[in-house]
Amino acid sequence: MTHIPFATNFVEPAGSPIRELFPYLSRPGMISLAGGYPSPSLFDTEGLQEAAARALSGPGALQYGATEGLPALREALALLCGARGITCSPADLIVTTGSQQAFDLLLRIFIAPGDTVCVETPAYPAAIQALRLADAQILSAPVDEQGLDVEALAERLQRLPVAQRPKLLYTVPSFSNPCGTLLPAARREALVRLALEYGFLIVEDDPYGELAFTDERPASLYAVGQRIAAEANPVLYLSSLSKTVAPGLRIGWMIAPADVLRRCVVAKQTMDLCTSPLAQQIAAEYLGAGRYPAGVERACAEYKKRMLALSSGLRAGLGSNIAFVQPQGGMFIWARVAVPVDAKRLFEAAVQCGVLYVPGAAFYPENPDLGTLRLSYAAPDVEQIREGVARLTKAFDQASTS
């Protein structure tokens, strides 16, 4: 135990509410519908082994690299973005250690204590955690079953004193974490126009956009910003290979204007000098080998199957006790308990019955809706999902009657 006082924000730091569930995971036989982990059965180990062997055959992977990222990977990521409808060159992006780091870099360069950041709520918990550590003033923006409610946000911004206007707005518009929603094209355009009107930047976090179960693929906010505002695009784009290749690579990236990237590079220099050149070289070799599109296609098919198993299981087992919108992509179902059940009791009963989910409170910066929960269908297989739902149904019965 040290006698040196910790910095204010680390005296009693709140850890990740999801990582705090980890001890339950090690209980024998536990079925987890909790974490946002991709399915290990989808990892292309053969392709990654080949990529790793090629990466290690040259010297570059074992040496320090440029903070901006390895040129070969920046090139491959620019091409990947092209396939997503985003026009960019390798110089328009930097490689980050997961997209999580990209968000943290943006907070470092833009946010002084007390600056306002608008966040769709419910939100990805690690984004809330990063904002708290940055001492940002968090402005919650409501969401509905289509994602961010842009009209409600516009009304809120209109009422807000100029000094409290946000500098940044954080959103996951495509198959969000936790709600699984897909923001419609009209709202995307309205949001970009709102950013231009009120002078804030949109941080578009897009780790799930390619994991689509239907052909409905609205253009990314970044592409909308390019179309509407060209050089004055108010959207910064973050993405990651974590959900489509493997999170163990820790490869993310950010597209932003040169003045933003330059400052992020300086901030990154003090964090990790550069993202692991070994991981970057493997990722570059992997993308270069052309195996990525087939991997994404496999993931979409498998996750759709698992999502359908979870949705139909919930409907059959819990019926009108639970309400949710069936997602069109991604990894999550966001559900609301439709009858009065104590949230703590339900969670305890679920753990007792051997199934884990994330209580919804984790996704709110304030005033949590305790009747909500996030269920992930990505990691367990269909059999495990069926058994998980059976256990959840039992937990529900126990919690409602005890």
Binding site for ligand PMP (CB under 6 A): 36, 98-100, 124, 172, 177, 205, 207, 240, 242, 247, 252
- Shortest CB 318 distance to ligand PMP, Å: 25
User: CA 202, CA 187: separation in Å to the nearest integer?
Assistant: 13
For residues 100 and 226, which CB has a smaller minimum distance to ligand PMP in the complex? Answer: 100
- Rg of the chain in Å (alpha carbons): 21
Which residue reads 């040196």 in tokens? 4
Q: Which is nearer to ligand PMP, 169 or 346 (CB)?
A: 169
Minimum CB distance to ligand PMP, residue 155 (Å): 26
Provide the 10 A C-beta neighbour count for residue 126: 17
Task: State which residue, 218 or 252, has the beta carbon closest to ligand PMP.
Answer: 252
Closer to ligand PMP by CB, 244 or 393: give it: 244
| Residue, CB closest to ligand PMP | 98
**Minimum gap (Å) between residue 322 Cβ and ligand PMP:** 23
* Residue 138 CB, nearest approach to ligand PMP (Å): 16
CB 2 to ligand PMP: min, Å: 29
CA distance 15 to 21: 11
Cα gap 55→75, rounded to integer Å: 16
- Least separation, in Å, of the C-beta of 204 and ligand PMP? 11
Contact 251, 95 (CB under 8 A): yes
- CB nearer ligand PMP, residue 99 or residue 281: 99
Please report how close the Cβ of residue 174 comes to ligand PMP at its closest, in angstroms.
Answer: 10
Q: What are phi and psi of 114, to 5 degrees?
A: 95, -15
CB of 245 to ligand PMP, least distance (A): 11
If the CB atoms of residues 157 and 241 are measured against ligand PMP, the closer one turns out to be: 241
* CA distances from residue 143 to 123, 130, 146, 180 in whole angstroms, order as listed: 10, 21, 7, 11
Q: How far is CA 161 from the centre of its chain?
A: 30
User: Residue 340 carries which DSSP code?
Assistant: -
Nearest-CA neighbor of 111 among 166, 156, 171? 166
- The set of residues, in sequence order, having a beta carbon less than 8 Å from that of 51 and lying 6+ positions away, is 282, 283, 285, 286, 289
Comparing CB distances to ligand PMP, the nearer of 103 and 347 is 103
Q: In the sheet that 116-121 helps form, which strands lie side by side, from edge to edge?
A: 93-97, 251-255, 235-240, 201-205, 168-171, 116-121, 137-144, 147-148
Largest distance between two CA atoms of the chain: 64
* Closer residue to ligand PMP, CB minimum distance, 209 or 317: 209
For the bound state, the minimum distance from the C-beta of residue 393 to ligand PMP, rounded and expressed in Å, comes to 27
Distance of alpha carbon 358 from alpha carbon 206, whole angstroms = 21
- Name which of 205 and 210 has its Cβ closer to ligand PMP: 205
